[in-house]
Amino acid sequence: MLRSLTRQFKFANNLRFYSAIPDGSATTRLQGKVALITGGASGLGKATAFEFIKNEAHVIIADIDPQVGREAVVDLGPSAQFVKCDVTIESQVAEAVQVAVETHGKLDIMFNNAGIAGKMFPPSITELDLDEFDRVMKINVRGMVAGIKHAARVMVPVGSGSILCTSSISGLMGGLGPHPYSIAKFTIPGIVKSVASELCRTGVRINCISPAPIPTPMVIRQITEIYGGIPKEKVAEIINGVGELKGAKCEEIDVAKAALYLASDEAKYVTGHNLVVDGGFTSYKSLSFPSPSSS
């Protein structure tokens, strides 16, 4: 009894942490829907899982790390379950989809979120390690295509479903990340467009989300590698400082709410779209001309 109450208290606290909606105002935008999130044990995946569950979805967390995955399920509460999944192994992706179908009888939402940044160095194309390039592409691109493929296999026959993919503003502008990561992220919107051309005829939607940098554990590790052991708080300050929109910063909840919209029936006529969540970062590049008043 005490363990159950402790778990419920922890779950409620986590919901308050991840959501900007006041206590007691949880919505039902995903009521009865079943979602599978790859890379869902931490970062953007876990934040999205909280948002989905708060909106009454059942969520399967698919992640390569069993310990972190099981801990995430404890945090997420009884509407979540964990399945070990390495997205580079197609059979494990297929099995994760099958778990959703066998447990709940369907799969409504597939969020292909698993990805890595890869090594930051060397930064030059002339020194690119093609083995590292293949590793990043295998996880960030091939793994995503595997998720789309096997989700489509169960969604197409029923004529409905929402497939989501995590991209990045590194896939919109050059120079925002290491070459393998940027090339992979440039590829994702193209995959979405290509697949949407087929799936739209079946009633299945597919979209992607391109967020600005967010101080998730993966990004903090990446930036720490560049600057060499500076405190995490300083790293978060650096990441949040790249934003353009006055008075705001990109947070995990922003991506989670974007995913909630695209997964819900509110986006019933949205497919093949890349939803950019960047506070205007990629909207313009100013010229460093002197002010006319100073000339």
> Among this protein's residues, is 181 annotated catalytic?
yes
Helix (H, G, I), strand (E, B) or coil at 17: helix
Distance CA 47, CA 257 (A): 9
- Selection from 254, 262, 166 nearest residue 210 by Cα: 166
Alpha-carbon distance values, 264 to 29, 59, 164, 236, 260 (Å): 6, 14, 11, 31, 6
253's enclosing H/E stretch is helix 252-263
Contact between residue 168 and residue 118 where contact means Cβ atoms under 8 Å apart: no
Helix (H, G, I), strand (E, B) or coil at 247: coil
Rg (CA), the chain: 19
Contact between residue 13 and residue 74 where contact means Cβ atoms under 8 Å apart: no
Distance CA 206, CA 109 (A): 10
Helix (H, G, I), strand (E, B) or coil at 162: strand
164's enclosing H/E stretch is strand 161-166
The CA-based angle 55-59-65, given to 5 degrees, is: 135
What are φ and ψ of residue 160, in 5° steps? Answer: -160, 160
Distance CA 62, CA 90 (A): 13
Contacts of 102 (CB under 8 A, 6+ apart): none
Of the listed 18, 181, 261, 269, which one is catalytic? 181
The DSSP letter of residue 208 is E
Q: Which sequence positions are flagged as catalytic?
A: 181
